[in-house]
Chains A and B, each alone.
Chain A
Amino acid sequence: MKRDTFLSEVSRHKFIYLLALPGIVFFLVFSYLPMFGIVIAFKDFQMGKGILGSPWNGFKNFEFFFSSGDAWKVTRNTIFLNSMFIVFITFFQVFFAILLNEVRNSLFKRITQSIMFLPYFMSWIIVSVIVMGFLGSDTGAVNKALNSLGHEGIAWFSSPKLWPAILVVLNAWKWSGYGVIIFLATIVGFDISFYEAAIIDGAGKLQQIFHITLPLLKPTIIILTILAVGKIFYGDVGLIYGIIGDNAMLFSTTDVIDTYVLRALRTSADLGMSTAIGLWQSVMGFILVLISNKLANKYENEGALF
């Protein structure tokens, strides 16, 4: 009998491994090769000299980033904005899923659910066009309406304080219908006998929601939240760069790690330092994913991704 070596295994199932090969090559090239590029974080990187030719400079890139004050700002913004998104989006999703579950008219339910889901299909660029339509300084509908009521228009694009709220609204608009589908599917799976028993005991509609539906939804909400917290170090480039772009007046509240790195890359300011920031994000993100996944597993068996 042949020894169970790598070659014998592969040749025995050569077609299967052949089918897997292009996918493996894809991940090798586009995900694993960049991981070797992490060395750039420890180098004084110069495009002309390439990765290997550029001189090492130890932890200088990290020192520079953490002493510039930007490190704290973008990390805080990333975590703060993402926390806001998690809280408000989850609230809207659960709220409308429960409301829709009460609707008995199936045509009404189908139509409104389709309408709520529609924003999910819009790119952030479309959303930025919408933002210009409402808030644009010259032709935006909101300022024109304020003007016609005798008020001064609001300088949206130079008022950083307003933007966390605006971004939350945009995100809620885009993601509510998406979550409604997920939560509604969960609610539909609940055992109907809970509700029947409650009705016999004289529970009203609101009591059923607060004492049956919400407690039953709790595991799903917690698991989805834990998993979202695991990704809290990753800013939404699409949302933030798509809408804020390079508007430096809004950076104090909206600049996140990803947009900071993206800008550094686009202006090719200091690639060594931006790689260092990216590494800081990847490592923190990795740790947080592991922790959140442990928590999810602890909370509910099979609740985690892995």
Chain B
Amino acid sequence: MTIKKNSAEKVYYTVIYGVITLFSILCLTPFWLMVTGSLTKESSILKNGYQFFPDQWSLAAYNMIFHSQRILKSYLVTVEVTVLGTVISMLLTCMLAYALSVRGLKYTKYISMFVFFTMLFSGGMVPWYILITRYLHLQNTILALMLPYAVSPFWMFLMRNYFRGIPDSIMESARIDGANDVFILFRIMLPLSLPSIATIGLFYGLMYWNDWYLSLMFIEKEGLFPLQFLLRSLVSNLMNVAASLNPKMSVMQEIPAYSVRMSTAIITIGPIILLYPFVQRYFVKGLTVGSIKG
């Protein structure tokens, strides 16, 4: 009896561990193909396609992109947009969230409704586009890659809820000591909510790092292409764009275009993969708090 039960349990757990392992491997397979694809000799890719176990290895693709002014430029654009964008977003988000978290104000409710309505209804893509290009004239400026995303209502409300969770007595005593609300926000509330700030800041940072929609919409100047957008043009127009990455090298030899596409993808996700072990828990926290009550 007990033997039978044990063996049934063994099968049960084998299946479970097996299925999870299989799915995890499937989740990793694309990354593996990107890595090997970036390290395969171009002639081998042209002959045998992208391979999980390449027959000929080469560093040519990395050699090319590490000497490419265009890649460097795009990397700097992406870093600048991510850092500056996140700072702007966090500032505006925290300031508004704090204001809406203070109790007993006459207009808080209306401001909340004003913000919340934007989650339900929008004027659509075309008027938004016309506003930004024809009236604000942001096209082909670095601001076009940040300002349209500056405050996410969802994260703003989440931040407001965090602030509301901080005991009122702390603010009250600060007010009695004569502190104004700007001081309370930056010197008292923010230091008290560092984990939440890290969480929301990381979500903003990921959004800016991964964005290509705003550059698709508003950027035509090559010098302002973020990495994701450059990568997109490596997908849609491989040969020409690959050649443009390093004009000097292209004249001299054959361009390893297919492996360059993969190596560019690798350096685009590189920082995310490197930071992932350290920041994962903040994202998990954001998801579990955010989804249960938004």
Contacts and interface: CB of A to CB of B under 8 A. Distances in A.
Interface of A: 4, 9-10, 13, 15-20, 22-24, 26-27, 29-38, 40, 47, 50-51, 96, 99-100, 102-103, 108, 111-112, 114-126, 128-130, 132-134, 136, 138-141, 143-145, 173, 176-178, 181-182, 185-186, 205-206, 224, 237-238, 241-242, 245-246, 258, 261-262, 264-265, 271, 274-275, 278-279, 281-282, 285-286, 289-290, 302, 305-306
Interface stretch (B63-71, B193-201, B230-238, B243-251): B230-238
A30 B294 CA distance: 22
A144 B48 contact: yes
Contacts of A18: 182
A274 to B, nearest CB: 5
B99 A20 contact: yes
Given A16-B105, A237-B213, A130 B33 contact: yes
B272 A37 contact: no
A272 B247 CA distance: 42
Interface in B154-187: 156, 180-182, 185
Contacts of A128: 232, 235
A124 B288 CA distance: 23
Contacts of A108: 17, 20
A103 to B, nearest CB: 7
A178 B287 contact: yes
Interface in B15-39: 16-17, 19-21, 23-24, 26-28, 30-31, 33-34, 37
A16 B23 contact: no
B147 interface: yes
Closest 10 CB pairs of A and B: A37-B127, A278-B124, A23-B96, A144-B49, A34-B123, A20-B99, A123-B210, A15-B181, A34-B127, A35-B123
Contacts of B46: 138-139
30 contacts: A9-B107, A22-B92, A23-B95, A23-B151, A24-B111, A31-B118, A33-B127, A35-B121, A35-B127, A36-B127, A37-B130, A99-B16, A102-B16, A114-B277, A117-B283, A125-B229, A126-B231, A126-B265, A128-B232, A128-B235, A129-B231, A133-B30, A134-B33, A144-B49, A144-B50, A205-B9, A261-B125, A278-B123, A278-B125, A289-B120
Contact of B102 (A16, A36, A47, A275): A16
B105 to A, nearest CB: 6
A18 B232 CA distance: 41
Contact of B128 (A37, A96, A186, A246): A37
B235 A125 contact: yes
Contact of A129 (B34, B125, B211): B34
Nearest to A20: B99
B262 interface: yes
B126 A275 contact: yes
B27 A118 contact: yes
Contacts of B216: 241
Interface centre among B45, B206, B232, by most chain A C-beta atoms within 10 angstroms, is: B232
A278 B121 CA distance: 11
Nearest to B130: A37
A109 to B, nearest CB: 9
Query: What's the dominant secondary structure at chain A's contact region?
Result: helix
B223 interface: no
Contact of B99 (A17, A37, A205): A17
Contact of A96 (B20, B119, B126): B20
B291 interface: yes
B137 interface: no
B276 interface: yes
A242 B131 CA distance: 24
Given A205-B9, A242-B232, 9 more contacts: A30-B150, A34-B124, A100-B20, A128-B232, A133-B37, A141-B51, A181-B287, A182-B292, A281-B124
A23 B92 contact: yes
A34 B131 contact: yes
Contact of B120 (A27, A120, A133, A286): A286
Contact of A26 (B21, B26, B92): B92
Contacts of A141: 33, 49-52
B181 A181 contact: no
Given A27-B114, A51-B130, A16 B235 contact: no
B188 interface: no
Contacts of B131: 29-30, 33-34, 37
Contacts of A9: 105-107
Contacts of B265: 126, 129-130
Nearest to A140: B49
Nearest to B268: A126
A133 B50 contact: yes
B75 interface: no
A224 to B, nearest CB: 8
Given A16-B102, A99-B19, A305-B294, A37 B123 contact: yes
Contact of B125 (A20, A26, A123, A258): A258
